[in-house]
Structure formats: structure tokens, C-alpha cells
Amino acid sequence: MSTGRKRAASSSKEDRPGIKRAVKWTRQFSHAGPRFQPDYKPISGTKPLFRYAGKPLLLERNTEEVAVMYARYLCGKRRTRDIEKTLQQNFFEDWQKYMSSKEKQQIKKFELCDFSGLVKKLQEDKAKPLTKQERAAQKKKREDMMNQYKTVIVDGRRELISNFTVEPPGLYMGRGKNDNIGRVKPRIKPKDITINCDDRHIPKAPGNSKWGAIVHDKSVMWLASWYDPITKGPKYIQLHPSSKIKNDIEEEKFQTVRKLHRKILEVRKHYEKDLKSKKNETEGEYATRQIATAVYLIDNFALRVGNEKPEGATDTVGCCSLRVEHLSLLASKNIRLNFLGKDSIRYEKGHQVSNAVYDNLQDFTRDFDGKKKTKKQLLFDSIKTKHVNDYLYNLMKGQGLTAKVFRTFRATQHFEEKLEEYSKFHELKATKSTPEDDKMKMIVFKKANLAVAQLLNHQTLSKPTTKGKAIKVNEKRIKDAQYKLNNLSKGTDEHRKTTAQLVVLKHELDLKVEQRTYALGTSKTNYIDPQVSAKWCKKYKVDITKVYSKVQLGKFRWALRS
């Protein structure tokens, strides 16, 4: 089938102009390195707690350590039927790697394993109260640990470290339903660690061990990193959100968001022009049309861009990695997207799109030569995430525009619009007022926050199956308030006060019911410009500590200076 398109002799895509990464520190980046997890202490002693095929079996140290990981999972609350089979298969496969040759011959089937003795021991140890001396010793140990590891000196400034302890060995749970659930996370050792520090203050590795590598990279703010063989990516020891470096980065991020806000009409005009197909389209023009279509989806529906994933990683996708199977073309220029997004959270929403975008998406279900794609083929098969970010970078002439900034812009814009809408609807007063008025202000803020979480698809990992204690308590309060109101004379102060209380209680209940499947913290911490929140709080006389936690206030110091 001929499409009339001209295949280019070579790629017409250009790389983004080289940017030198910003220097995060210059002279000093001095710290103690990461804290490692203590060695495993067997809990069985001489009496076997594990049974196989009904018979007690004393496990070797490494084997018992991994068996206890599974026992801890059995003690926990996160147990659902849909993950159990995969978890057990992955755990048993990895567990065998830790067994001795003799144990591999003895333990061959997971279904014959009995972990109940280990579970009972863990529960007994947890329930055992600590003596006064033990509590004091633990407190002293924590204080010593904090003094040694909690800070880093950055060019003479002492800054806090966010997570100074490497992750403990255990079962990988991940988020949502994923193929790696139940895999054994290995114990991280000094040889696995890359240390980042200045060349005059290199931390000593514990004992006689050695670091895997030592670098002096002034363009990054991590102190130590290691490779995670399960997620197939790096993990980091990072600076605390309240640190100056982190504050500067946050401020710069939202400065770029505000620049985009000022230029959004110009940016949209540019990519809307690139949405249009051309006669005798070249391969490069076809790719540009795919980029413009992806940008349209990111702008209008706040989709994640969708980074390339290493082989074996969980099959989660974003905009650029959408496959034909994820798209349904409906009537009246409507589309439906259905895919597994970040953290294995399902994205399933319908949208109405422009004529050009609808036609493009229909066109992209075929390849450049016009051949119909299979359902497993990429919708945007001529581009990658890098090309979208290069395109956006050039749209704002090197001012730092990326797909993530676009998503942050949409979140902040949506939050600001909803704050204004709900504030007017509920007739908020720009004065200090009654307790009910103050509660309504918090309801308005949380409703606007919820609207952003819904836009960004920040759903909770587990769906509640019951009402929950908070909702039941709220329902009882409404019932009690209604009963009280029915027995009050109209026109009295008490009647007006109880009526106001009832209105607030009903709005609180609606909010609790609506937000129970959404996580509001991520959008508030990472996507909403804190200056918008601060401005709203100032206008309506709301204490900023009511909307931000202590950690968030530290992260947003730059936004709250005035």
C-alpha cells in the first residue's frame, strides 16, 4: 500500500544542544557514607522452627534469613489472592539460590513448606515488652547513629541526609500487581556501593571492606548509589528535601513552570501546527507529527511521557510507549486509553480530542508505509522520550522545558483553577472566622488537591473494600447533628450553628468517600507550586502549617520566604 510518503535517506532528528549539568557543590562534599543493615541473627537457635513435609528442619543461616523474610510477609497485612501465586513462585525460585546443596535436595516443593513456627516466633518477639534498660540502650544507639550518619557538609554548610541507611534485604513487593513481587532483595554490601564525595574527604568503608567505586561528581547531589537487580535501576542516598541544593532545584523547577505559563499559547500554537499531516510526508515530518501528537496528549491529559524500560522490568507504559492495544478510537472524536501506568496503576479514561489528533492516532495504528500494526506494536513507533523532550526544549529556547515540567504545569494550573472555583462556590471568607468556616477552607483545599490527584491518576495501590473507620465516624456525627437539629427551634443561634456544622460534616463525608481511592500527597509535594498554596492561605487567613507538614515546609522554604 502506497502512502505517498518519502523515506528519508538518513534521520532528520537532531540532538538537543549539549547542556553542561549544573554544579551542585564546588569544594566540599563530606559525609560518613551509608549505614548498612546489621547482620542477620538466627531466631531458631537449636530448635527448628521450620517444617518441611511435616518434619522439623533446622535451616542454615542464609536459608533461614530468607525464610524469615517470607514469614514477615505472612505476618503483615498486604495479602491478596491475586498476588499470592506469583509471589510464592518468585520467592521459592530465589530462596533456592540461598540454600546449600543439601537443602536443595531436601526442600523441593513450596507447598510442603511450613513457616508457621517462624511466624509464631516473630509475633512473640514483637509482643514481648522491652525493659527500661533495653529502651534506653535502643535510644542511645539511635542517637549515636544519627550523629554519625545524618549530615553531610556541602561547601561548609551542614545539611541533613534524607535516607542514610541502605535498604534492608527482604521480599520485593513493589507497587500494584507486578511480575517481580516476592523476589528476594539481596543484602547490600560496601562492594555494591558507589560513593560520591570530594577528593579530600573519602569515607572509610566498614571493617576491612572496600567501596565498589568512588567518584567526585559535582553535578549530582547523591552521596551513594547501588544497582537494584530487581528493578534494574540505580538506588540512591540523597540529600534531605530541606537542603539548600534541593530547595534551589525545586525553585528552579517551578520557575520553569511559570515561564511555560507565560508562553503556553505560543507553545500550543507551535505544536498544533505540527499536528497537521503533509502531502508526500517525509520520515522526519512523520516523526514530528508523532511528537506533536504526544505533546498534545501530555498537555491536555497530563500523561507521563513514558521512559524506555530495561529488559525484564515491569510492563508499565506512558505516552511515548503506548501500544496500539492501549487505544480505542470511538465516535465523535472520542478516544479511550487503557494501560498500566507507573507503579502498575491502571489508567483507564475517555477523552475527546481535536480532529487533527484523532486523525493522527488513527493514522499511527499503521506504520510509515501504511501497513496495519499489530496490537503489540508502538503507537508512536518513530519517536522516543528523548525526541519529545528535545522538541519541548527547543520550543522554549533552552529554558528547561521537558515533558515532566509540562505535567507539573498542568497540575499547578488545574489546582489554581479548582481552588478559585471551590472558594467561590463555598463563599469562603477572607477573614478569621468560625470553626466551621475554617473547616470549610480545609475542605476546599483538599478538594482542589484531590482534583489534581485525579488528573494525574494518583490512585492508591489497594482499593478499600469497606467504608473505613473515618467514614463510619463521620456518618454517625451527621446522624447525631441531624437529630440535634430536628429538636432545635428555627432562628436560634444554636440552630444556625448546628446547621453550619451539618453542612461541613456532609462535605467532609463526600470528600472522604471520593478521595479514598486517591493518594493526595504526591501531587501536593511534587506537582503543585507551593507559591499558589501560600498565596491562597494568605488570602483566606489559613495557617500554612494546616496544609503542609514539617518536612514539606522545609522543602518549600524558598516559596514561603515572603
Active-site residue numbers? 527
Distance CA 177, CA 140 (A): 40
Contact 31, 152 (CB under 8 A): yes
Distance CA 343, CA 331 (A): 31
Residue from 296, 316, 292 nearest 383 by CA: 292
What cell numbers appear for 152 in the block? Answer: 553531610
Distance CA 59, CA 50 (A): 7
Contact 100, 60 (CB under 8 A): yes
What cell numbers appear for 22 in the block? Answer: 549544573
3-state secondary structure at position 395? helix
Burial 541-559 (b: 16+ CB within 10 A, else e): ebebeebbeeebbbbbbbb
Q: What is the dihedral of CA 53, 59, 63, 69, to 10 degrees?
A: 70
Distance CA 325, CA 337 (A): 9
CA dist list (Å): 176 to 26, 40, 180, 344? 41, 29, 11, 5
Reported as half-sphere exposure (CB side, CA atoms, 13 A), residue 244 has a value of: 10
Contacts of residue 280, Cβ cutoff 8 Å, sequence gap at least 6: 4, 5, 6
Distance CA 319, CA 251 (A): 27
Query: Across-strand partners of 309?
Result: none
User: CA angle at residue 388 from 351 to 369, to 5 degrees?
Assistant: 80
β-strand 29-30 against 151-154: which pairing, if any?
A: antiparallel
Burial 526-540 (b: 16+ CB within 10 A, else e): bbbbbbbbbebbeeb
Residue from 372, 531, 536 nearest 446 by CA: 536
